[in-house]
Amino acid sequence: MQPIDLLRKRFGFPPDWLNGLELKAEQETIFVATPEAMQFEQINPLRRGLRLCRLFPNSVKPTTFAMQILGRTATRNRIEVTEEQARLLINNGEIEIEADAENGFVIVCWRSFVVGVGLYKKPVLKSHIPKFRPVD
């Protein structure tokens, strides 16, 4: 099964969730962008588009940034957390929670807003939300 199909199945995305966008695989990463961004040849950027996911031998890990933009249509493996739990996860913590989700990567939501991605191993949800990095 293709990585995008794995993501769509795991998170219950509709078949058209990436319509109008193009995908590009580079090493163990898949990027997504508009067709215009993918065809822009005037400069040679380090990368084009948004990092959608990373590929691992037995799984696909969606990125927090991509899920914040594209993850609102997910219908499976979403875990709704409280404000306090969201704060702990944003600070790279972990929480215990009983959720209707499978073990593995999940989309973490607070008030239906996608906060980021976590790794769920019942009953522990561990944050995979990137730490803030200052820009030089």
pLDDT per 10-residue tile (average), the chain, 136 residues: 90 94 91 85 69 91 95 96 96 95 97 96 96 61
Nearest to 74 by CA among 51, 101, 39: 101
CATH number of the domain at 3-127, please?
A: 3.10.450.720
SS3 string, 25-68, reads EECCEEEEECHHHHHCCCCCCCCCCEEEEEEECCEEEECHHHHH
Its pTM stands at 0.88
Other CB atoms within 10 Å distance of the CB of residue 39? 10
